[in-house]
Chain A
Amino acid sequence: MEEPNKVVIGLWDHEEVYLHAIEKIRAKGVQIYESLTPFPVHGLEDVLGYRDSRLHTAGFMFGTVGTIVALSFMTWTMTVNFPLDFGGKPYWPIASFIPITFEMMVLFSAWGMTLTYLVRNRLWPGMVPRIYDKRTTDDRFALVFDADNVASDKLKELRDLCMHEGAVEVKDKQFN
């Protein structure tokens, strides 16, 4: 998703008011681009209408890949490439592959999920994250609205709506 250049930012100072404001604003049919809070707010995903994260599905897929890679590689080395007799065990000692397979599964899903998370959230190395308002790491709860290609009277309505729902401050911001 492209980041908008022009945004409207509403700032709240209390989580309860903030949660109610989100419900009201969404009920009016206004799209919320981003929500930023200084700490995890209980029930925020519900009022924002977020779907369940698909990260765990990705994790399952990476884990499956890790399992297949580990098992097939060990099978190939131990049976086709260089069969060795270890203590009279069969050439394909599946039981002794399991711990390594498990480790590889964990490794693949951990790395895969971390990288997926970083890429999805635009946190790759060298990336300068966009800061909408510095006080969201301190004491302000922010809602960010996409203001690109939105008529000015609509924006005024939006600002009024935020103030009406208890925002302590509403401001416009233009990025580059």
Chain B
Amino acid sequence: MNPKFEFTDSIKKALYYMIGIGVLGLLLVFFLYRENNHARFWSNILANTYFFTGIGLFGLFLVAAAQVAYGQWHTLVKRIFLSLSVFAAFGGFILLIIVALGLVNVHNLYAPVTHILHTGQGDPIYTTKLIYFAPAFWLGRLLVYSILWFLFSRGMNNFFARTDQTDPKVYKKSRIISAAFIVVFALTESFISWDVVMSLDPHWYSTLFGWFNFASYGCAALGMSILIIIFLKSKGYLQAVNENHVHDLGKLLFGFSIFWTYLWFDQFMLQWYANIPEETSFWVKRFDVGYFKFTIFLTLIINFAYPLFLLISRGSKRNFKTIGFGAALLIFGHYVDFFNFTFVEPNWNTEAVEAHKEAKLSTENVVLYAQAQQNENAVSDATPVKENTEVVTTAVEKTEGEVHHEEAPVNYAGIGVGELMVFIGFLGVFLYLFFNNLSKRPIMPEDDPFLKECERLEVTYA
């Protein structure tokens, strides 16, 4: 009646293929793109580890939040949320290793920070930030998060596997553990986003970056659990889970998408309006390069416009096809979002950018010169203004044409076949750990006090 998930060989085989594709992709990226000390390879590992660790942590957070609030809607799929977190138990250590390797110059992801750490000279704006990025403190923090995540992932998985959940004392204890995890999650999730992603560009800062990443994790984790529920139902498991439970998850998915957009726009609009060079450098980098401008607006379309128009109605959240498609699309959208954060700075071709700036400056000089000349003419010959503008435009067109030929690629990375292969590989590892954990105990927590209530869940509105 309540079977364990059978981790069959065919599923295992498919996952092994996925992992194989990922390894192949990593090799491909490593040997094909050698620029900036294989920056693209390391960016791939960083982005994917960060993404899937976030999904895992959010799965744990969903259980914790519902448990603290005496929730019952999640009871049937509790073990799915818990199993998401197995990757996060190890993801923290991978992030720690990435930063440690950056500090010993194996790769150049954290070069802006490590350069100044090693040489002691550089931009004076970094001096206060260097206290935060002192190697011992930096690695120590990461070690603390990793250990906490490992302990909570293991601890909560084991705790909710207990068969005496109906005992009020055990239930009370589960709420204490959950409350503790919410505090840990709130802190570590913000700190990890500053430590491994915002530090790629130590000049830039955004005070809502932690929240922003939290919203991204939320969308990706909810999308992942919806897809997994649909998959498990198609295999004949989780018969008690019906469209009401998926509807609840869909509502959260919709809500988190809007929340993500709200934070994205806040971050952008305030920095654009304030126009402080320290903050706008982040956006200038992305908007100057056509490719990144495209991915930035692609994320807005996928993560905002799609859920706003197609997930808002009740029917589309209760239909497994539409919600499944939406979930898959949102997972991809939030991967692209993390791509925008982790791939730009390390793969930035500084020399090409400097050349571009000089060329642009020379264009401006030509324009200014032409304008000055025309003004002189206007004073002396009383030339009509219309002709002035014509001369200026031709001058601009002329110089822009010249500049265009000299322009070198300003970035080394984009979303290519390699990136997709690595993503598939990490997804394979993630799902392998997920299914491995899920197969250890019955999918549904049979002894949970809220199980009957969850089976009768009915979503009436929205």
Enumerate chain A interface residues (CB-CB to B < 8 A): 42, 52, 87-89, 95-96, 98-99
Contacts and interface: CB of A to CB of B under 8 A. Distances in A.
B269 A87 contact: no
A98 B275 contact: no
B273 A98 contact: no
Given A87-B275, A89-B273, A96-B269, 10 more contacts: A42-B460, A52-B314, A87-B273, A88-B275, A95-B269, A95-B273, A96-B273, A98-B265, A98-B269, A99-B269
A39 B275 CA distance: 55
Interface in B259-279: 265, 268-269, 272-273, 275
Contacts of B268: 95
Nearest to A87: B275
Contacts of A98: 265, 269
A3 to B, nearest CB: 28
A42 B314 CA distance: 19
A89 B269 CA distance: 12
Nearest to A88: B275
A87 B273 CA distance: 8
Contacts of A99: 269
Please list the 4 inter-chain residue pairs (A to B) with the smallest Cβ-Cβ separation, ordered nearest first: A95-B269, A95-B272, A96-B273, A98-B265
Nearest to A53: B461
Interface in B222-276: 265, 268-269, 272-273, 275
B131 to A, nearest CB: 33
A96 B270 CA distance: 9
Interface residues of B, number: 8
A52 B273 CA distance: 43
Contacts of B460: 42
A7 to B, nearest CB: 29
A95 B297 CA distance: 14
B220 to A, nearest CB: 25
Contacts of B275: 87-88
A99 B460 CA distance: 32
B266 to A, nearest CB: 9
B261 to A, nearest CB: 10
Contacts of A96: 269, 273
A68 to B, nearest CB: 16
A87 B269 CA distance: 14
Interface in B366-409: none
B311 to A, nearest CB: 14
13 contacts: A42-B460, A52-B314, A87-B273, A87-B275, A88-B275, A89-B273, A95-B265, A95-B268, A95-B273, A96-B269, A96-B273, A98-B265, A98-B269
A154 B273 CA distance: 73
Nearest to A46: B460
A96 B269 CA distance: 7
Nearest to A93: B273
Interface string B298-312: 000000000000000
Contacts of B314: 52
Nearest to B269: A95
A87 B272 CA distance: 11
B280 to A, nearest CB: 12
Nearest to B273: A96
Nearest to A52: B314
Interface string B418-462: 000000000000000000000000000000000000000000100
Contacts of B269: 95-96, 98-99
A106 to B, nearest CB: 13
A108 B273 CA distance: 27
A59 to B, nearest CB: 11
Contacts of A87: 273, 275
A95 B300 CA distance: 14
A65 B460 CA distance: 28
A106 B314 CA distance: 21
Contacts of B272: 95
Nearest to B275: A87
A89 B275 CA distance: 10
B258 to A, nearest CB: 11
B457 to A, nearest CB: 13
A98 B266 CA distance: 10
Contacts of B273: 87, 89, 95-96
A145 B17 CA distance: 68
A100 to B, nearest CB: 12
A144 B314 CA distance: 31
A111 to B, nearest CB: 21
Contacts of B265: 95, 98
A99 B269 CA distance: 10
Nearest to A56: B462
A52 B314 CA distance: 11
A156 B223 CA distance: 58
Interface in B34-75: none
Nearest to B268: A95
A98 B314 CA distance: 27
Nearest to A99: B269
Contacts of A52: 314
Contacts of A89: 273
A52 B461 CA distance: 9
A152 B273 CA distance: 75
B208 to A, nearest CB: 15
A98 B304 CA distance: 14
B141 to A, nearest CB: 35
B316 to A, nearest CB: 14
A113 to B, nearest CB: 15
A39 to B, nearest CB: 15
Nearest to A42: B460
